[in-house]
Amino acid sequence: MNRIAGIINLDQEIDSMNELTYFRCMAAIPFGARYRMIDFTISNMINANIDSIAIFARKKYRSLLDHLEQGKAWDLDRQHGGLFILPPDWNDPTDISKGELQHFHNHIDFIHRVNADYIVVSGSQHICNIDLQAVLEEHIETKADVTVIYKHMKQLDSEHHYTKKLTVDENNRVVEIDYARENPHVYMNMYIMKKTALLKFIELSIEKGYTNLFKEAIKPNLSSLHVHAYQYKGAHAFIHSVESYYRNSMRLLDDNFYDCLFQTEAPIRTKLKNEAPATYSENAHVERSMVANGCHISGDVKNSVLFRSVKVGEGASIEDSIIMQRCEIAPDAVLKHVILDKECTISSGQVLIGTKENPFVVAKRQKL
């Protein structure tokens, strides 16, 4: 088997989710009743037997550190390799690198030392369950310099305006990378290449004063480089805004999407919290919802996602909402099209109503 190492590069991700990203980066956004966005990327990597993963973090990474710990949840607490969380701490007086190349330059030891022939570089905003070994096989088979991963979208939504699009020829070779609105081939911000090739691209990018390796060292050279496009066909969601977060969270309530994203052979792992199973009391009424461990439900819940340890009082009504960990909804409160960040308390009789396009977002630990 070929050895791959992973780099999760959060440097270029914009914290564009208002209250939800005031104090955390995108990668740390809770998603899918018990996960954080980054869990999907990490799990995809460990499912491909990647056992050395570096995370390039620049800002708001406190909650990310808290979540990842030593990587135990992903079996990344290893003697050698494992998880390397690499925040900016660069004091190299000879450093001339800029932008995301600062990470590559200052954390170059990770790449030099890691016991791998290939490196996959990924962001955290594309939620998916992808077989990266299959990507590598295709990469080797096509003898490409770089393989990039894309999803053919049946329908383009507003968030896809902000993703790069790939134009490919009949051999799936990439001929153009841009932001063309109508192009359904959404680049998933993941690429794989030989470790030696990556080192060369890094060196070149720093010499040239580039700020973005993919955009400046790969994208303009599609004629001289063999850039192959791998088509991912599984469940996919790109989270970029509160609206896309809300809409894609609701897709989890669909059995098919859920089954495609959460596969038993390729599980998505997250930090364990040792919560008891969810309990439903005599007056609970739950319909079409996703409910995590530790919840205690006595009221009505419909078309909603409940994270771990949410308490819903008697007579409370929650509809079309996302309720994060440890929120408490007192009896007779009414929530519709609402996103509650962690540990919010909603008092009895309170009514909060947002819209589908513009859900009512309540910041962490608020009491209403």
Residues in contact with another protein by CB under 8 A are 32-34, 72-73, 253, 255, 258, 261-262, 264, 267-270, 272, 274-294, 296, 305-306, 309
Phi and psi at residue 71, in whole multiples of 5°?
85, 15
CB of 129 to another protein, least distance (A): 11
- Tell me how crowded residue 142 is: count the other CB atoms within 10 A of its CB: 16
SS3 of residue 108 by DSSP? helix
Residue closer to another protein (CB basis): 262 or 360: 262
Residue closer to another protein (CB basis): 121 or 290: 290
Strand order in the sheet with 300-302: 285-287, 300-302, 317-319, 334-336, 351-353
- The residues, ordered by sequence, that sit 6+ positions from 329 with a Cβ below 8 Å of its Cβ are 299, 310, 311, 312, 313, 316, 318, 323, 335, 346
* 366-to-63, 98, 304, 320 alpha-carbon distances in Å: 18, 39, 20, 20
CB of 283 to another protein, least distance (A): 7
CA 178 to chain centre: 22
SS3 of residue 23 by DSSP? coil
Residue closer to another protein (CB basis): 77 or 357: 77
Contact 289, 304 (CB under 8 A): yes
**Rounded distance, CA 291 to CA 301, Å?**
10
CB of 117 to another protein, least distance (A): 28
CB of 127 to another protein, least distance (A): 12
Residue closer to another protein (CB basis): 242 or 290: 290
Element (H, E) at 134: helix 132-141
Tell me the CA end-to-end span of the chain in Å, nearest whole number.
55
CB of 239 to another protein, least distance (A): 17
Q: Which amino acid is at 360?
A: F
Residue closer to another protein (CB basis): 226 or 302: 302
CB of 330 to another protein, least distance (A): 17
SS3 of residue 216 by DSSP? helix
Contact 325, 318 (CB under 8 A): no
Residue closer to another protein (CB basis): 204 or 276: 276
CB of 281 to another protein, least distance (A): 6
CB of 22 to another protein, least distance (A): 25
Residue closer to another protein (CB basis): 174 or 316: 316
Residue closer to another protein (CB basis): 2 or 283: 283
